[in-house]
Every structure is written in structure tokens, then in C-alpha cells.
Chain A
Amino acid sequence: MIPFDFEYYKPQTITDTIKLYHDLDLMGRKPIYYGGGTEFISMARMHNVYSEAVIDIKGIPELNIHEMKDNELIIGAAVTLTQIAELNLFPLLSLTVKRIADHTIQDKLTIGGNIAGTIIYRESVLPLMVADSDIVIAKKDAVDRLPLKDVFNKRMNLEKGDLICQIIIKKEYLNLPSIHVKRTKVEKIDYPLITMVALEKDKKIRTAFSGLGGYPFRSSKFEQLLNSNKSNKDTKIKDAINSLQSFITDDLHGSSEYKKFMLHNMLYEALENFEEGNK
């Protein structure tokens, strides 16, 4: 049970939503955008979040779009992980979201919520990182389409009241050779020890990770070393992992040494799979 009361709003347009947020904020109501709501309800129950005005964004048509248009895949922020997996227009994203929480939660959890939530793993952002995705954000005075890499640094860097509306991925990225690997400490349904996505474009492997440190990331230095001309896979992988030395942290899921060991094996298998695919 949620231990406090709030008002519930369900606007139908982006303009109304943004205005409503700022009006409620001016009134001191601590408004919060509500997508799937899984994080909000579980945190509210434990007094870890408080709001007097919940704005449900699922009634906004633009946030429910899930289609190809002009050679781009557009995914609204209110689209659920199950809808993404079932439609399967971007297989790497589908594989990734099918390993976030459990299947029933995926029926409720939205991609916008997973990217913008407070839980650090935000695994659905990984395929978007390697696919050079754009993100549409509604602000107080405008709706901007921005490269994800410009607004996601450790987390979404949004101003108060900004609303994630859509994610856009170019068609050329959707069916490139790709790999998703998620390793957990014990249980299959768990936060990641390491989640890795890899995608091969123009004979270069792009990678993004969650679980290694305190936030999801993609590293150009890491990719440069992984794609070096050295013939020995082990050496390339060791060089690449060494570039992340200070970033890989100990946590409840595993020590940094264990994570490096696991990462080495994951990368070795990934490189072999890409090589096999190129034969």
C-alpha cells in the first residue's frame, strides 16, 4: 500500500503535460511523470519517493507510437518492454528488454521509465547507445530531437519537467550482426553482474555495458583497443579491459576481479561469434 495520497492526472497531449507539470510544480505539489509505474509504486511503498501529483503519460498518442517511418524506427516512451519484444523490430533491443526484470513486469515497464528511472542499470539504453539513437525530449518551450549520447551521461540529463517522448533508431542499425549477453550472480531474474551488448558496423565492433560500474556506458577508448589490428584476441581483450581498470567496481553482485574475468570470457565469445558470422 502506498502510504501517502496524491492526485492522478492523465493528459492527452504533450503540450498539456508539460504545462501541467510546471503548474503543479509552481504549486509545490512535487509532480512526477508516471509511465509503467513499477518503480514509483515500489519506492513509494518504502517512503523512498513522494509526490502529491502523479501525471500518467500513457494517454499521449506520441508516446505510444511503435512503428517504422521514413526509414527510422520510432518507439514512444510509454511503449512497454513486452510490446518491444513482441514486435521485435530491433532484435538487439528485444533481446535486451526480455532480460530486464521478469516477463510479467515487462508487460508494465516502459522503455522511457527504464531509461529515466533511478535504478542504475538502465539496460534498455545499451542497444540505443551502440545504434547511435536519437531521443525526442519535450521541454517547457520546445520539443527537441537530440543524439542520445548528448543527453545520456551516466543517466539521462534532463531539466525539471522535461519529458522523454520518443526514441528513434535509423533503419540501417536494426538488423546488423549483434550480441546480447547478461550474466547474473545466481538467479536468472536479477540485476546484472554484467550486461553486454555488441553490434558490428562497418567491420568495427561497438559495445555498451551495464553492471560493470555505477552506470551504463559506451567507451570509445575501449572499442578502439578491442578493434585494434592485433591478431591475438586475448591481448586485444586484455588491453581493452585494462582501459576500464578504475571504472570496474566491487559490488554485491561480484568483485571487480571476478567481473574482469567474466568480461574477458564474454568478449572472447563475442569476438568468436562475430568472426564466425563473417566467414
Chain B
Amino acid sequence: MIKFSGKTVLNLNINGENLDVVVKPSDTLLYTLRNELGLTGAKPGCENGDCGSCTVLIDDWPIKSCLMLTVEAKDKKITTIEGLKNAPIQKAFVENFAFQCGYCTSGFLMVCNSLALHKPKANNHTIQEWLQSNICRCTGYEEIQSAIKSIINNEI
């Protein structure tokens, strides 16, 4: 049986690297990424699972890191925005002007990257279904949809 009590050194696989980090069982993954590992690409927004700005990939599926305990991520593959190195979706966001203030962008990028991976032939309904997990207060939804569609249709 796995048990964590108090502060513990946990080895996490993040962006292809195995990193040791000190965590408490009550730490959320968002807290650990930002405050213990300096990976500030995942943004704190609502911290209630509503806005999606803290989205990361766990075993390639999007997860809101504010609603995951760090200890749950043991033995999982964690990918943050820092781990997307020149992914096609990043270029697509630039070319489609898919951001304004940029606060929601890393969350949207992670969702879109996972969508392209799991549903390379996603239709409009599926795209909207996935994108509804995230909120853009600048309301740049059309451009974000254009970006993901350009990836899915292999236009770049």
C-alpha cells in the first residue's frame, strides 16, 4: 500500500525528465508545478476546475492541475506547456492569432495538443466539446478553433 504523510520526496516524470520534488499529500499538482518546480506555464485561474488555464497532460490526456493532487501523479507521464517544444499547435496558434492577453493560452494549447493526438480527424462537434473545457476572457474562440482545425486538417 502506498502511503504519504507529511513532507515527502516524490519522483515525478515531467516533460520527459525524472525530477525529485518535496510534496505534501494536500498539495495540488498546480501548486507543485509552479511553486516547487518553477514551471509557471500552467496558470492559476479559478482553481476550481472551471477555467482550464491550469490544464496539463497526464498520460497525454488533459487534466486540470488544480483538481489533481501531486501524489496522484506518481508513475504518470506529466506534460506541461514547457514540454511542448515547437509542437505544430504552437505554430498554428501564432499563425491564426489565437491569443490576445495570453493567460488562457497554455491551457488551450494543452487541450488542443491532446485533441490532435487522440482525435486526428475530429469534427466540429468534437472540437467544440473539447474546447468547452477552457475559458478565454478575451473571447478569442474563433481563432483558437481555426488553429486546431488547421492542425487536424494537416494544413501546416
Please list the residues of chain A having a beta carbon within 8 angstroms of any beta carbon in chain B. 1-2, 4-12, 16, 20, 37-38, 41-42, 44-45, 54, 56, 58-59, 82, 98, 101-105, 107-108, 188-189
Contacts and interface: CB of A to CB of B under 8 A. Distances in A.
- Does more than half of chain B's interface fall in helix, strand or loop, or is it mixed? mixed
Interface stretch (B63-71, B79-87, B90-98, B138-146): B63-71
A59 B68 CA distance: 16
B132 A188 contact: yes
A8 B27 CA distance: 11
A9 B1 CA distance: 7
Interface string B91-132: 000000000000000000001000000000000000001101
A103 B129 CA distance: 7
A37 B130 contact: no
A-B pairs, 10 with minimum CB distance: A8-B25, A104-B133, A10-B2, A102-B133, A2-B26, A8-B4, A7-B5, A104-B62, A11-B1, A107-B61
Nearest to A46: B48
Contacts of A5: 6, 24-26
Interface of B: 1-6, 24-28, 31, 47-49, 52, 55, 58, 61-64, 66-69, 71-72, 111, 129-130, 132-134
A105 B67 contact: yes
Contact of B64 (A11, A105, A189): A105
Contacts of B24: 5
B49 A42 contact: yes
Contacts of B27: 1-2
B67 A42 contact: yes
A4 to B, nearest CB: 7
Nearest to A51: B26
Given A4-B26, A9-B3, A11-B1, A103 B130 contact: yes
A4 B25 CA distance: 10
Nearest to A13: B1
Nearest to B110: A104
Given A1-B28, A42-B48, A42-B67, A82 B2 contact: no
29 contacts: A1-B47, A2-B28, A5-B26, A6-B26, A7-B3, A8-B5, A9-B1, A9-B3, A10-B1, A10-B2, A11-B1, A20-B1, A37-B72, A38-B49, A41-B66, A41-B68, A41-B69, A42-B67, A54-B69, A58-B72, A82-B61, A102-B52, A102-B132, A104-B62, A104-B111, A104-B133, A108-B63, A108-B68, A189-B133
Contacts of A8: 2-5, 25, 69, 71
Given A38-B49, A54-B25, A108-B68, A189 B1 contact: no
A273 B62 CA distance: 35
A9 B71 CA distance: 10
A107 B1 contact: no
Nearest to A54: B25
Contacts of B52: 102, 104
Contacts of A58: 72
A103 B64 contact: no
A11 B71 CA distance: 14
A21 B68 CA distance: 22
B4 A7 contact: yes
Contacts of B64: 104-105, 108
